[in-house]
A and B are shown apart, each in its own frame.
Chain A
Amino acid sequence: MTRSVRRTRRMLKVTGAGAAALLALSACSSSDSDSAKTSDSSASASASDKLSGEVTVFAAASLKESFTTLGKEFEKEHPGTKVTFSFGGSDALAASITGGAPADVFASASPKTMKIVTDAGDAAGTPATFVRNQLEIATLPGNPDKIASLKDLAKSDLKVVLCDKTVPCGAAAEKAIEASKLKLTPVSYEEDVKSALNKVVLKEADAAVVYKTDVKAAGDKVEGVEFPESADAINDYPITVLKESQNSDAAKAFIALVQSADGQKVLSEAGFLQP
């Protein structure tokens, strides 16, 4: 349900970007050949030269900020294209893809979710890991509860939220907690990583176990605390073109951008680890 709010917000953004792209297009339609010189960063894109049309990318909620940036970059590099995103819990996205949702690219927050799509025969080719993500504890700004380790979350007077174990961030958290042999009782198992984080942003919870990237994206609304056990639960993010893609050239070009040096720079600035 939070997703739908996010989607509306995103739609607004996308519409805005689309309008901007249209303006840019109509402004320089006479000098279309100029765009060729900007395609230096993605080698595979120059092979198919003229990319156009819409690319629909289904991506894990945690990729929202960095992929939105990359989408704008892609549209700038390939005038005439439009990248549309659907961000959400990886499992929900995988379910809609296997249910026949029209998507060109799927970027998942875990190999397990990607496997749902590959097992259903909906992926074209083998998915590639493009980034990795590590967990971090998000605390209130200034860390008033002096949380320094995963063990501190077991204090009884703390309100801690985790992701539900059905979604990747929850599965990873469970793994890390198991590895540390802790008994942790959260107040809630949230349906995705963003809603777990938001409970801390809204100061309803004292701490949440989320991805490093989400802590970074939240800016000064939360403070991040690293914990060594997170090394036992690093998530690989696989990406693939989908079989039903109506625009697989552009889809491949988008993936190439994600894997390029430029793309990796955007992603590591967001807190992702190199694969």
Chain B
Amino acid sequence: MDKAGAADTLTGGPRRGRVRVRGERGGAPLPLLVPALIGLAFLVLPLVALLIRAPWRSMPDLLTSSEVWQALQLSLLCATAATAVSLVIGVPLAWLLARVEFPGRGLVRALVTLPLVLPPVVGGVALLMALGRNGVVGRWLDDWFGVTLPFTTAGVVVAEAFVAMPFLVISVEGTLRAADPRYEEAATTLGASRFTAFRRVTLPLIAPGIAAGAVLAWARALGEFGATITFAGNFPGRTQTMPLAVYLALQNDPEAAIALSLVLLAVSIAVLAGLRDRWMTAS
């Protein structure tokens, strides 16, 4: 019973009920309804236009070309890898921000979320300065391990993780703040170490928030363009993800660009819709 109640809250059940009540009182007021519909049209119309202008007849040929498959596979692989990276280092970071008091925490939080508002191309340049062959850290990576990230698939993952991880951190941190810390405290007073308490109590508690953050991060990574082309370059099969393929196709084959955009759109919608309920809990 308890569980059902929780699920209801998570899917926004009660809220929907409230809207219905207000609806019975005489519908949405016009000054709200009109801008709301304009807003809806503004967001949906461009996507509908893609559908209308899509070259349906040549679609099968365009989509079965090996280059498109390569780009799509690489996109899915890199977005997933970037999400995994974000999970491994982003969740602990979110925990640190939410649970540990330390001087300058506000500043650290601001720095962590900076990539959210930074133009991606600036992120790409910053990554080059840090991890490029001639970069602050990249120089040592090259000298000591012979590792250079630019122009490699790993570089794509790095660029995508840089841009996408803040979405996960923000989402997880928010969930952690909302979760009651007394459960963890109880666990530690019963003899569990702080890490065990985190693993056995906190993690299951915030799992929906982590899932929500991971989906957001994955979707952001899938659409990443600026940092990727700046940091990792563009080589089919190695660093050319779907957004890059779309951009370059637009230069001389707009129809192909539309077709590629549709694929990316379909994949994104499928994922967001499939995980909608969990995603909703993010807010």
Contact = CB atoms under 8 A, between A and B. Distances in A.
Interface stretch (A9-17, A126-134, A198-206): A198-206
B121 A202 contact: no
B119 to A, nearest CB: 7
A208 to B, nearest CB: 11
Of the candidates B128, B132, B151, the one having the most CB atoms from chain A within 10 angstroms of its own CB is B151
Contact of B229 (A1, A4, A95, A159): A1
B252 interface: yes
Contacts of B229: 1, 191, 195
A167 B128 contact: no
Contact of A1 (B132, B151, B230, B235): B230
Contacts, number: 75
A204 B132 contact: yes
A202 B131 CA distance: 12
Interface in A173-216: 186-191, 195, 199, 202-205
A92 B251 contact: yes
A1 B134 contact: no
A189 B67 CA distance: 14
B234 A204 contact: no
A187 B251 contact: no
Given A187-B235, A188-B151, A188-B235, A204 B128 contact: yes
Contacts of B235: 186-189
A2 B247 CA distance: 13
A73 interface: no
A116 B234 CA distance: 25
A221 to B, nearest CB: 12
Interface string B137-178: 000000000000011000000000000000000000000000
B225 A91 contact: no
A188 B233 contact: yes
Given A1-B120, A202-B132, A190 B234 contact: yes
Contacts of B250: 92, 95
B220 interface: no
Contact of B121 (A5, A89, A205): A5
A92 to B, nearest CB: 6
Nearest to A185: B235
Given A202-B134, A203-B133, A204-B128, A89 B251 contact: yes
A1 B225 contact: yes
Given A1-B225, A91-B251, A92-B251, A188 B234 contact: yes
B187 interface: no
Interface in A72-112: 89, 91-92, 95
Nearest to A2: B121
Contacts of A189: 233-236, 248
Contacts of B133: 159, 203-204
Nearest to A188: B233
A199 B119 contact: no
Contacts of B150: 187, 199, 204
Contacts of B248: 164, 166, 189, 191
Contacts of A92: 250-251
B254 interface: yes
A253 interface: no
Interface string B234-260: 111001000000011111111000000
A204 B247 CA distance: 23
A80 to B, nearest CB: 35
B226 interface: yes
A199 B133 CA distance: 11
Contacts of A161: 233
Nearest to A112: B252
Most chain B CB inside 10 Å of its own CB: which residue of A1, A2, A159: A1
A85 B133 CA distance: 34
Contacts of A199: 150, 233
Q: Which of A4, A5, A91, A164 has the most CB of B within 10 A?
A: A164
Interface string B32-46: 000000000000000
A95 B254 contact: yes
Contacts of A4: 119, 121
Given A1-B121, A95-B250, A187-B151, A164 B234 contact: yes
Contact of B239 (A159, A166, A188): A188
A183 B252 CA distance: 24
Contacts of A202: 128, 132, 134
19 contacts: A1-B121, A89-B251, A91-B251, A95-B251, A95-B254, A161-B233, A166-B248, A186-B235, A187-B233, A188-B151, A188-B233, A188-B234, A189-B235, A191-B229, A191-B248, A203-B134, A204-B132, A204-B151, A205-B151
Given A4-B119, A199-B150, 10 more contacts: A1-B229, A89-B251, A188-B151, A188-B239, A189-B233, A191-B247, A195-B229, A202-B134, A203-B134, A205-B151
